[in-house]
Structure formats: C-alpha cells, structure tokens
Structure 1
Amino acid sequence: MKKNLGYLGDLLALFFPELCAACGKSLFKNERIICTNCVYHLPQTNFHEDPNNKMARQLWGRFPFVQTIAFLYFRKGSRIQNMMHKLKYRKSPETGIRLGELYAYELKRSDIFKKSDLIMPIPLHPAKFKKRGYNQSECIAKGLSAILNIPINTKNLVRLENTETQTKKSRYARYENLVSAFDVKEKSELINKHIMLIDDVMTTGATLEACSLLLQEIEGVKISICTIAYAE
C-alpha cells in the first residue's frame, strides 16, 4: 500500500518501515514480504525433483498418493519458523500468499503438478477461523493458484471438530484425534479429480492422512500433497 502513495509512502516508510517476515529487517522498495537475501537463502528441499523424497517415504503405506512435496525445511529457531509463526499467529496472511507464490515459481519449472485439477487447503474449524480471521493454508493455496493457474476449492472439505492441540501428540494419537474431524459436503463435485491438498507444515502427517483417506472414499479421486515446510 505504501508503495502506491508516492512521497507520502516514502515518508510513512521512514517511520513505519515494512519488515521482512523472515529476518525482521526493513524491506527495500522492490521487495515484498520477504527480503531478497532471505529468498536467496531459503532452505529449499527440492522434493519435487525426487519422487522418493523423505516426506514421501514418511507417508508410504498410510494412504495412496501421486506426489508429496514440501518447499522448505522447518527447523526450530530458524527464519522459516519466524515466517510460519507470523503467518499463523501474527495476522499476516500475506506471508502465506507470498510463500505460495515463491513455491509455485519453482514448481512451474517442472511438470509435477500440471495435471492437478484443483487445489484444496486443509480447512480450519469455524471457531478458529473466526479467531484468526483467515485460514493459513488457504493463503498458501492462493499464492500457488495465482501462479500455477489451478482453481481453488475451499467449500467442499470442512472441519467439523475443533480438535485440541496436536503439538505434543504422537503420530497415532494425532490421527485418532483427527479421524472424524473432517467431512466432504458435495462429493459429486470431486469425482475423478486429482486434488492438490495444501497444508502449512508437515510434522507427523496425521492431518494430511485423515483428509486424504476421507477424500479417497470418493470415486476416482487422486491425491497429491503439498506443504510449505517439512519438519525434520
């Protein structure tokens, strides 16, 4: 917004500089959300170049999928954690959109998702959505969609239960906590679709597993998994 205000924008930038979501330093005029230095040094996984990547191996045998990829490695205390925290808890949906765009530029260089029919973010429970004001996975999906030209579906997959925090649970406990937490409204709209399922960070994969198994009850549905970060 400040960049469109001319001299007033320059004056505002002196007193209220826009800060990088990763490192917290002031952004230059030509930078948006994440500074050039942080973009250059993003810890990319390059999972899209390896169908047998460690994220895929973690999910093998749990549910069928076409591809499973993540953009960045997530490590505690890192700039990636800063961005994920800002996205989820600091009212910064634009961080998710920007990360989705950056990943989409990488994916555009390969054929990995050109055959996907739609992008579907993991939904939030309405109570959590109301409190946060947006769904962080949907923000990521918007960035991906804008560059990859794949439509987003945010209405069909819904969250029925506002499950308790998953942070300290085991993989199985997380899955048990989520197994009945989701539902699909209009299954007929998804028949024979290849869905790119979007989440922010994959840790145990329990949420992705619960949603994928539910969606795969629909005739002909194929699932690919895409997250911004992968927790090692």
Structure 2
Amino acid sequence: MMSYTIFIVEDDPIIAGSVRDFLTRYGYRVVTATDFERIPETVRELQPHLIILDVQLPYQDGFHLCRELRRHSSVPILFLSGRTGEMEQVLGMESGGDDYVTKPFHLEVLLAKIRAMLRRTYGEYASAEQPVHEQCRGDLCLRLNAAEMVWRGELQTLTKNEVKLLALLMEHADQVVSREECLTALWEDVAFVDDNTLTVNVTRLRKKLARWGIDDAIVTHRGWGYQLNTNRLVKKP
C-alpha cells in the first residue's frame, strides 16, 4: 500500500495527537503543525497527500488559510471544526475545502472520509479518469486532467469535486441527474456524506459559471436532481 502523508493543522494538542496516533496505526505518515505562521511554506516543503485543517487557528482562520493554499496547491483539504452551522460549512467549501467534519467526531468516520478522499485523488478512481482529457458542450469545455474549464477563451480552475460534478452533468447533458447519482459520483462512501455538501458544490460551480453570465445553465429540479441546459452554452448569433 502506498504510504500517504497527512498534514494535521490543529492547534489543540490533544485532538492533533489523538488523530495522529490513530491514523499512524493505519499506516499513514502523519505530521502535525508546529509553526502556525508558516503553514503555506510547510505545505510546499512537505508536499502532503492530504491536509486536515482546523478552522480556529492562531494568526489566521482556516478559511483564509485554505484560500491561500489553493493559490498553488490542489491537495485535498478536510476541514475539522467546532463550528457546526450550515453557513460555516458552506464557507469552508467555498474557500476551497473538499469536505467538512464537525467536532466532536468519531475517529472511524474521519478515517472513512480520508480513505475516500485519497482513493478519489490518487487511487483506482483517479486512475480511471486519466484517459479522458477534455469534454465540451456548446462553448464550454472541461479539461478533466487539468482541473479547469474554458469558456470562449477564458479559463477558470476547479476543485476535484467541481470537476467530477461538471463532468457528470456534461455526460448526461439536457437530462436530469438525480442527487443520488451526483452523491455517488462525488463520494463513493455516501453513508458519511451530508446531503448539504452536494448543494454547496453545486452552488460553488454556479458561482464560477456566473462570472461568465451562464449561472442558469445548471437547472435544479426540486426533489429530483440537476440538469445541464446546453442551450445556455451555445453562442447566440
């Protein structure tokens, strides 16, 4: 089994230590943060496979730090926070996080989420995606392996979950894709996924499309799922 490096950015030594000891028993190489003023520099030096990031940290909060890390890294980031409100979770995902776990939490649930994120990013699911490089609908093109979308010459980067979601909607363009299908495509361990997390990712993808004036290309069918309206992706004469 590949030895993955996990970087824990948590200023509570008891929580950081218990998570470190638990994950180490499962064969992971775990490093805990010691200098909270140099987290971005440590990430560049350490090159971890996954980051567990607390929200309430010294010097700057985890949301701001996540946005800073996203400037140069697409490493999976899992928020660990005592803030349980829905808006806090939305903010975490919009800051570039891939998942959000609230305190108190079960170490087994945390492990399941970590395993799922690592499989999607580096394991068999990631390998299966490599042969496909680009898919287009109308004037919108998704570059899967580059994690970016292009609209009439303009480019935006995407998170891994945004890539998976847009790829699924493009594959079933003009058809309604159920929420269950979306959840399965994004998180194979759906038993541990809050349904609100899907809504957050859809909202985040819509906001990026809105920068090009095509936020209404993703249509919500309440109680059912989502549909990509390709009529909005074609340049009008």
TM-score relative to the length of structure 1: 0.28
TM-score relative to the length of structure 2: 0.27
Which structure carries more strand by proportion? 2
